Each structure stands twice: as C-alpha cells, then as structure tokens.
Structure 1
C-alpha cells in the first residue's frame, strides 16, 4: 500500500474527522489523495489489505455469498447492482462474469490490492471488499447484503471475515 506523506495523512485525517461516515472516494477527493491513501489512514481494524494476486480466489469465494451489491464509483457516476456475483472465468485477458444483473469483463491484472473494509457509511455499519488499481484508485467494490431489517447478513459477515483472515495470512484456496 502507498504510505501517504505526513501532509496527505493530515489532510485525510481532517476530512475523516469532519465526515466520518463518508464514502472513501469522497474523502480522497476532498483530501487530494488516492483511495489507497485513505485506506492507510483509517483507524485500526477498519481496513485489511491483501495482494491483488488473490483476485480470482476472492471472486470465486464472493460468488458463494449470495446477494451482494456491486458498486462502481467514478466520482460523477455511482453504479450499483444487487444480485449474486456469478462465477467468473478467465478468457482473452479478462476475468469474465456472465450473469444478470451482474455481468462484465474485468482485467484481473489491474487489481494491485484488495481491501477488506469494515466501517460505517452514511450512518450504517458496512462490510465491503474493495478492488484497487496500481495507482491506488478503486476499480469496484462488493458490499455485503442486508436482510429485511437492513441488518448485515450474519453468514456473509462470517464468510467475509474468514476470507479476509485467510488472505491476510497469505493462504490461497
């Protein structure tokens, strides 16, 4: 992970203090930093980073979690798709997802790191896996699903924690 300069860390800290539950992209933009730099400045326990080499392993596991929300945030556009992540396969240089409502083509090699994030967002507790590029930007994120009372689904939280802990320990599937 990129280690932010002291000035960048101070700017990120100030934005987080003023907007503690803001989206990481918004914090990064306000602080003039990358999402990866913001992740590095989060309080202990809120973000665990693992190498992007575990991308296919993580995607295969997430495909077994049930309904999730996939988010792509470009700053000007935030796309969300709720559904089960389809199992992917590598072909023609891409990790291909053939499903509905979630489908697409991801250049897996562009994923330099993954962050397992556990923090409030807009006043609600969340868990997400965020896929980061080499410049520290967020390619996309996968948020855990919620039940009918808007609570995180306990089985997904357990699966998230197990995958995070396994990958953080460097254990591949």
Structure 2
C-alpha cells in the first residue's frame, strides 16, 4: 500500500479504534491486531505526528541522516526486532541495491526501489516521546527505521532532536 493512498473507510475505522486502545504502543502490533498495515496506523495519528516525504527524497534524507552521529537503526519483522546503534554510512547504488558500508555496525544492502515513502514519526511510545524516520515499502510496512537516540537519562538527544525536527519540518512544508 502506498502511504499516500486514501484508506478505505472500514480499514480507517479499525485503525482508529485499535490506536485509541493503545495510543503509545508498538505500531506493528497495533496494526496486526486491527488487520491493517503500519502505514494505515501512521496515517491516522494526530495531525503532525506523521509527516510523509516522497520516495524520490530517499537520497537527500539518507544523506542528512548520516550527519546525526550514532542513531538507533531498527528493523522490525514478524519474527525479529533488530536494534543496531551506529552511524549511518553513506550509501551508493549498484546492481539494483543501495549499499551501505563503512566503519559502523550498520551495513548491508537496501532494495531502494521498494521504498514507497519516508515518514517522520513523532509520537509517544510507552509514555515517552519518540522520534524516528520510517522508510516505508509499497505494502505499507517499514523497511527500516532510524530513531533519535536517547541519552543516559533516557531523554531524546537534544542535538539529534533539533536535526529531526528541522528535517521533518522541511518536508511538512512541501
């Protein structure tokens, strides 16, 4: 599902009901319980909580994220939630893949062509503000997410939060 598409009324209703029952829960769990996609849950968040940029912005957003320092890179599948702390390396395209390699534990290959949109998510998660950038696929799921890190006091790192808000706001105004 393209995250820019309208949600069918019955799916929207299920998404809203599920979100109202656990507004600060795991998006993928909320979506599964309502038989909707993660993109449909993000689409019904309160205004400003999910700002969507087009897939054509992949390179410029990735490039900006490489300047944030150590981030939390998260991949959430049905079976695994992999969380990796590291600096996002610059990427390059070759043989149909966006390849990321460098002096970081974050590395590998991304099927960039499967990216349908990029969503800046600013919402409560288990009672605390959480800010992240979700690279969404055409099925309405997150390919991967990049989170603003927390400091030793479990607060969002101020320098990254400023960068997140500036980047999100740039795409909110487009």
| TM bin (shorter chain) | over 0.9
- Alignment partner for residue 127 of structure 1, among 110, 125, 131? 131
Give the secondary-structure state (helix, strand or coil) at the position aligned to 1:112.
Answer: strand
- 1:144 alignment partner in structure 2: 148
- 2:74 alignment partner in structure 1: 71
Give the secondary-structure state (helix, strand or coil) at the position aligned to 2:134.
Answer: strand
Question: Take 1:26 and 1:140, find their aligned partners in 2: how far apart are those partners?
Answer: 16
**Per-residue CA distance 1:26-48 (angstroms, 9 max, x = gap):** 11111111111111111111100
**Per-residue CA distance 1:127-153 (angstroms, 9 max, x = gap):** 000011112111110111111111101
Contact 2:51 2:171 survives alignment (8 Å): no
- 1:117 alignment partner in structure 2: 121
Q: Within 5 Å, which residues of 2 pair with 1:22-171?
A: 22-99=25-102, 100-170=104-174
Q: Give me the CA root mean square deviation.
A: 1.2
Total equivalences in the alignment: 170
Q: Extract unaligned runs of 5+ from structure 2.
A: none
- 1:18 alignment partner in structure 2: 21
Contact 1:145 1:152 survives alignment (8 Å): yes
Question: Take 1:145 and 1:25, find their aligned partners in 2: how far apart are those partners?
Answer: 20
Following superposition, the deviation at residue 75 of structure 1 comes to 2.0
